């Protein structure tokens, strides 16, 4: 018997719908359940063929558990080693090499010294930085947000450099990105599962959270949709995420990738709506079952992105 587990936190609808859908398919030798943990012993595990991870980004104990599970043969979705190493600035750098359009972006040192460091720790950092060069490259208005994180936390829209310096001081020890504003005509959030199943969802990030998937008269231009799908697959395969969403802001017909490292994207019924929810539940169930069938006990079954695979192949 191969077990598919789902590890989750505050979610109420997706995890249970996922479990029910997998079990309803009555695949011989495969069952799904909520993950339960009573102890974690080094190099012991293998209870699950597949685990869908929805929460370890917020719980370090779970991340350590999943790495151990991966070592003992579990296919963890998404790869906990890559997820631990990833950040939004690197995502942008990689996307640029993949030919995906991006807003101009720079990374900034934290406004306050990290704990247990002093000014001597930053002797390689030029002072003052080339702020005028940065502002000329980015332009205003601009967005400032953490280089790692999500959920629209600590995101600022800045009108000028005076406001930048004021708000940057408020960010403390956070390392921030400064990013060009893309004034968009259309916006899309795109699910990608298993590196092949893609659902393009019109999205309005300026609406209240529960209304962001409610968009009147969305653009359905076939060429634009094909381009968005192509860019989504490039990004998800490059990063190696089997469960991800990618966001695009469309300016003058060009889709700019805004956010594409969302390995535990919102899938709640009340957020995404009935049709999108049904798609995610069905595709996640099919993906997990396929991965469980391919899983080899005692072997590493993780998905690695093309960036890692190509780098390893060159050695």
| Alpha-carbon gap, residue 209 to 191, rounded angstroms | 17
pLDDT for 151: 66
**CATH of 104-180 among 1.20.120, 3.40.50, 3.30.1490, 3.30.1360:** 3.30.1490
For domain 2-84, give the CATH number. Answer: 3.40.50.20
Q: What is the pLDDT of residues 32-85, one digit of tens each?
A: 999 999 999 999 988 999 999 999 999 999 999 999 999 999 999 999 999 999
Q: How far is CA 139 from CA 49, 114, 147, 205, in A?
A: 49, 28, 19, 21
pLDDT for 76: 98
Residues of the chain with pLDDT under 70: 150-151
| Alpha-carbon gap, residue 150 to 191, rounded angstroms | 16
Tell me whether strands 50-53 and 75-77 are parallel, antiparallel or unpaired: parallel
| Alpha-carbon gap, residue 194 to 176, rounded angstroms | 30
Domain range annotation of the chain: 2-84, 104-180
Share of the chain above pLDDT 70, in %: 99
| Alpha-carbon gap, residue 101 to 99, rounded angstroms | 6
Whether the pTM exceeds 0.85: the reply is: yes
Q: How far is CA 181 from CA 28, 173, 228, 251, 256, in A?
A: 51, 24, 19, 11, 11
| Alpha-carbon gap, residue 272 to 209, rounded angstroms | 10
Query: Do residues 190 and 199 touch, judged by C-beta distance below 8 A?
Result: yes
């Amino acid at each position: 018997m191969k077990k598919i587990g789902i590890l989750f936190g505050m979610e109420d609808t997706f995890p249970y719908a996922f479990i029910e859908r997998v079990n309803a398919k009555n695949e011989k030798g495969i069952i799904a359940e909520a993950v339960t943990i009573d102890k974690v012993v080094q190099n012991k595990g293998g209870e699950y063929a597949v685990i869908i991870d929805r929460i370890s980004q917020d719980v370090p104990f779970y991340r350590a558990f999943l790495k151990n599970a991966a070592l003992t043969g579990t296919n963890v979705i998404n790869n906990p080693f890559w997820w631990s190493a990833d950040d939004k600035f690197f995502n942008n750098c990689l996307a640029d090499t993949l030919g995906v359009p991006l807003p101009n972006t720079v990374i900034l040192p934290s406004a306050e010294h990290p704990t247990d460091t002093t000014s001597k720790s930053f002797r390689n950092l030029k002072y003052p930085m080339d702020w005028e060069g940065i502002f000329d490259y980015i332009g205003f208005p601009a967005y400032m947000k953490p280089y790692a994180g999500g959920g629209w936390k600590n995101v600022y829209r800045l009108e000028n450099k005076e406001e930048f310096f004021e708000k940057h001081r408020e960010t403390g020890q956070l390392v921030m990105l400064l990013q060009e504003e893309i004034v968009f005509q259309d916006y899309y959030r795109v699910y990608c599962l298993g590196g092949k199943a893609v659902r393009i969802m019109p999205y309005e990030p300026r609406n209240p959270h529960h209304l962001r998937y409610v968009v009147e008269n969305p653009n359905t231009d076939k060429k634009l949709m094909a381009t968005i799908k192509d860019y989504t697959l490039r990004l998800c395969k490059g990063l190696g995420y089997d469960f991800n969403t990618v966001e695009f802001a469309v300016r003058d017909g060009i889709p700019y990738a805004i956010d594409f490292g969302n390995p535990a994207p919102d899938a709640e019924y009340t957020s995404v709506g009935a049709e999108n929810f049904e798609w995610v539940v069905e595709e996640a169930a099919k993906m997990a079952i396929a991965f469980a069938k391919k899983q080899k006990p005692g072997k590493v079954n993780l998905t690695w992105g093309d960036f890692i695979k190509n780098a390893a192949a060159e050695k």
